[in-house]
Chains A and B, each alone.
Chain A
Amino acid sequence: MSEASLTTAIVEERVKPAKRRRAYNVRRLPGFAPIALFTFFALYAPLSILVFYSFNAGTSLAIWEGFSLRWYQQAANNAQVLDAAVRSLLLAAVSASVASVAATMAALATTRTRRFKGRTMIYALINQPLMVPEIVTAVALLIVFAWIKVATGYTGMIYLIAAHTAFCIPFCYLPIRARLETMDDTLEVAARDLYAPPLKVLTRVTLPLLWPGIIAGYMLAFVISLDDVVITEFVKSAGQETIPTYMLGQLRRVVTPEVNAISTVILVAGAVLVTLFFWISRGRR
C-alpha cells in the first residue's frame, strides 16, 4: 500500500464516524415516542378485549371457552334489545334530520357576511349546549318535562326527540359552517347575475356545494344522539329505553357477554360513521 493511499484510508477512517452520525434531530425528545406508542396501545387494548370476549362461547367474561356467535344471536333475539335498537336509530335519524335542517339555515345566515348585529349572540346560543355539563341540562329538562307531562298527560317520544335535536344542533352547525367558510360565493354571484331567482341559487348552486358539510354534520349528530346516555336517562318516560340506557340498566345485574356483543356492534357502527365523516370532511381540503 502506498503512503498516499494509507493517508486517505486514515483520513477516511477519521471522517467516517462523523459522517455516519445522524443529524441532531431537534424534533426528538427522549422517552416521548415510547410513551406515545404505549398510549396508542392503551387506547385500543381495552376495546379489543371487549370485542374479543363478545365472541366467547362461555357465559363467563373471564375464561375463554372458544369462538361463538352465541351472544350476538341472543342479543338479536332479545325483544328488549331490538326494541331499544329501533328506538335508538329512529331517535337518532329524526333528531339528526331536524337538527341538520335548522343548523344549515343558521349556518347560511351566520357565515360569509360582515358582522351584523347579534351575530356573536347567535354563535353563543347555538354553542350553548356544548358549554353546559350534560347532567345539568338533563335535570333541567327533567324539571320542565315533568311539569309538561303532568299538565298534558302526554308521554310520547317528542320529549326525547326535542332534547336530542337541541344538543345535536351545535354538532351539525360546526362542520356546515366550516364548509361554508371555505366556499367562496363567486358561483352564487354568477348565478344571480344570470337572473337565477334566490331559491334556485340555493337549490342548484349553494346546497350542492354545501352537501358534504351537511352530510358530515348529519353523521356527527347521528353518532352523538346514538351515544347519548345522560340526557336520555333523565328525559325518557317508562318503557322508552334506548340502547345506551338499556346497557346502563343491564350493568346493575349480572353482566353476560351479551353486553359485549351489543357494545361491539355500537363500536363498529360508530367507527364506520366516524371514518366516513373524516373521509367526507377531508374532501374539502
Chain B
Amino acid sequence: MTDSALASEPAPGALEAHAARQDSRNRWLLSLPALLIIFLFASGPLFVMVIYSFLSPGDYGNVKWDFSTDGWVNVLLQRDIFDDTLMWADAHLSIFWRSLSLSLITTVLTLIFGVPTAWFIATQRPGKREFWLFLVTVPFWTNLLVRTIAIQELIRAEGVINNVLLALHIIDEPLQMMFTDFAIGFGMTYVYLPLMVLPVYAAVEKLDFRLVEAAYDLYASRWTAFRRVILPLIKPGIIAGSILVFIPCLGAYVTPRVLGGGKNLMFGNLIELQFGAGRNWPLGAALSLTLMAIVMVALIYYVRITSREEKKDV
C-alpha cells in the first residue's frame, strides 16, 4: 500500500488499530491449544493444590472437605499428641536442612568440576568446541534414572569402587556408601554437572581475552588474573549455572530415592511420603507449595541476572 492510498482513507489510525487487534486475537487463538493443555494439566492443578492445602486429611488418604490450616502449620511445627502444645517438627527441619545443605554442596562441587570443564571447551579451536560440548550434552539428555543407576552400580557394597579399593588392599571391608547423604550428593553432582557447564561455557566464550592479556601485560600472575579479571567477567554464567543446578537439587526426587534409600529423605521424598504412607495430602500440598515458592525466588533472581546481562550486551 502506498502512502497516498493510506492518506485517502478516512481514519487510517482506527483501521490500523482494528487490524492490530484482530491480529493479536488470531495469535491468541493459534496459541490456544498449547495454552489450554498446559493450563489444564500443569498450571491449573497447582491452584487446586492451594485449595487442598487448606483441607483436612482423609482417613485413607485424599482429603475431607473441612477447612483447616493444619497442613501449613505442620510444615514447620507439630502438635504434641498429649497436651496439644506446638513444637518444631524436628523430622521436617532435618529434611529441609539435608535438602538445603546437599543442594549447596552439590552446587559447589559442580562449580569445582564444571568451571574448568567449561573453560577447557571454550578455549578449544572453534571447530573442536562443538564436539566437546556434545560430549557434555549427551549424558545430560540421557535418562536420569539410568544415570542414577550407573552411580548406584559404582558405589554399591559390591560395586566397582569397593572392589577396586579391596583389591588394592586400601580397605579391608566394603565401605557403606549407598543410602548415605554422601551417595545423594555424589549422585546429584554427577547428574546435574552438565547444567553447570553449559551456562559457564556461554560466559567464557563471550569473554574478551584482550582484557586477560592486558592483565598479564601488567604483570598479573595467572591466579590474580583469574581472580580479578576473569572471574568477575564470567560471574553471570557462574551464577546462572549455580541456580540451574541448585533448583533441581532442591526438588530432586529420583536420585535421593534410589541412592538415599528410605532414611535419607529430601524435600521431594517428604512430599511423596505425605501422599503415600503418610496419608496427609493437605500437608503434602502445603510442602509442595513451599518448595515451589523457594524455587520461584531462586528463578526470579536468575531471570534478573540473565536479563541484566542481555541489556549489557545491547
What is A's interface to B at a CB cutoff of 8 Å? Answer: 24, 26-33, 35-40, 42-44, 46-47, 49-50, 53, 60-62, 98-99, 101-103, 105-106, 108-110, 113, 116-119, 122, 125-126, 128-129, 131-137, 139-144, 146, 162-163, 165-167, 169, 173, 223, 226-227, 229-230, 234, 244, 247-248, 251, 259-260, 263, 266-267, 270-271, 274-275, 277-278, 282
User: What per-residue 1/0 map shows which CB atoms of B96-121 lie under 8 Å from chain A?
Assistant: 00000000000000001110110111
Instruction: Confirm or deny: B153 has a beta carbon within 8 angstroms of a beta carbon on chain A.
Output: yes
* Interface pairs A-B: 4 shortest CB-CB: A133-B251, A36-B120, A140-B45, A109-B30
Closest Cβ neighbor of B134 among chain A residues: A278
Partner of A139 from B27, B49, B158 at Cβ < 8 Å: B49
Instruction: Confirm or deny: B253 has a beta carbon within 8 angstroms of a beta carbon on chain A.
Output: yes
Chain B nearest CB, measured from A40 CB (Å): 6
Inter-subunit contact A139/B151 (CB<8 Å): no
Beyond A26-B213, A47-B139, A134-B251, is A259–B149 a contact (Cβ under 8 Å)? yes
Partner of A30 from B222, B247, B250 at Cβ < 8 Å: B222
Inter-subunit contact B48/A140 (CB<8 Å): yes
Beyond A42-B190, A139-B288, A146-B62, is A106–B141 a contact (Cβ under 8 Å)? no
Inter-subunit contact A106/B193 (CB<8 Å): no
Instruction: Confirm or deny: B173 has a beta carbon within 8 angstroms of a beta carbon on chain A.
Output: no
Inter-subunit contact A128/B147 (CB<8 Å): no
Which of these binds chain A: B7-15, B36-44, B80-88?
Answer: B36-44
Contacts A116-B23, A126-B31, A251-B152 given; 14 further ones with Cβ under 8 A? A33-B116, A43-B139, A46-B153, A105-B33, A109-B28, A109-B30, A113-B27, A122-B35, A133-B295, A136-B251, A162-B40, A166-B40, A244-B145, A278-B137
Instruction: Confirm or deny: B54 has a beta carbon within 8 angstroms of a beta carbon on chain A.
Output: no
Task: List, sorted by A's number, 9 A–B pairs whose CB atoms are closer than 8 Å.
Answer: A47-B150, A105-B30, A133-B295, A143-B49, A143-B285, A166-B37, A244-B143, A266-B142, A274-B141
Inter-subunit contact B292/A136 (CB<8 Å): yes
Chain B nearest CB, measured from A171 CB (Å): 11
A36–B23 Cα distance when bound, in Å, is: 51
Residues of B within 8 A of A259 (CB): 149
Residues of B within 8 A of A223 (CB): 141
Residues of A within 8 A of B247 (CB): 133
**Main DSSP-derived SS at the B contact region:** helix
Partner of A26 from B135, B152, B212 at Cβ < 8 Å: B212
A27–B288 Cα distance when bound, in Å, is: 45
Beyond A61-B153, A139-B49, A143-B285, is A32–B119 a contact (Cβ under 8 Å)? yes
Inter-subunit contact A128/B42 (CB<8 Å): yes
Inter-subunit contact A36/B43 (CB<8 Å): no
What is B's interface to A at a CB cutoff of 8 Å? Answer: 20, 23-24, 26-31, 33-35, 37-46, 48-49, 52, 62, 112-114, 116-117, 119-121, 123, 130, 132, 134-139, 141-147, 149-154, 156, 158-160, 163, 190, 193-194, 209, 212-213, 216, 222, 226, 230, 247-248, 250-251, 253-254, 257-258, 268, 271-272, 275, 281, 284-285, 288-289, 291-292, 295-296, 299
Residues of A within 8 A of B257 (CB): 248
Inter-subunit contact A267/B248 (CB<8 Å): no
Inter-subunit contact A137/B42 (CB<8 Å): yes
Inter-subunit contact A116/B27 (CB<8 Å): yes
Residues of B within 8 A of A139 (CB): 49, 271-272, 275, 284-285, 288
Residues of A within 8 A of B43 (CB): 125, 128
**Main DSSP-derived SS at the A contact region:** helix
Inter-subunit contact A61/B226 (CB<8 Å): no
Partner of B52 from A143, A230, A251, A275 at Cβ < 8 Å: A143
A105–B291 Cα distance when bound, in Å, is: 33
Inter-subunit contact B117/A35 (CB<8 Å): yes
Inter-subunit contact B123/A27 (CB<8 Å): yes
Inter-subunit contact A142/B48 (CB<8 Å): no
Inter-subunit contact B37/A102 (CB<8 Å): yes
Residues of A within 8 A of B288 (CB): 135-136, 139-140
Residues of A within 8 A of B35 (CB): 106, 122, 125-126
A38–B112 Cα distance when bound, in Å, is: 12
Beyond A106-B35, A230-B254, is A36–B119 a contact (Cβ under 8 Å)? yes
Closest Cβ neighbor of B162 among chain A residues: A62
A75–B102 Cα distance when bound, in Å, is: 36
Closest Cβ neighbor of A51 among chain B residues: B150
Inter-subunit contact A167/B154 (CB<8 Å): no
A132–B47 Cα distance when bound, in Å, is: 13
A129–B43 Cα distance when bound, in Å, is: 8
A33–B132 Cα distance when bound, in Å, is: 13
Partner of B117 from A28, A40, A141, A277 at Cβ < 8 Å: A40
Inter-subunit contact A144/B45 (CB<8 Å): yes
Inter-subunit contact A102/B149 (CB<8 Å): no
Inter-subunit contact B138/A274 (CB<8 Å): yes
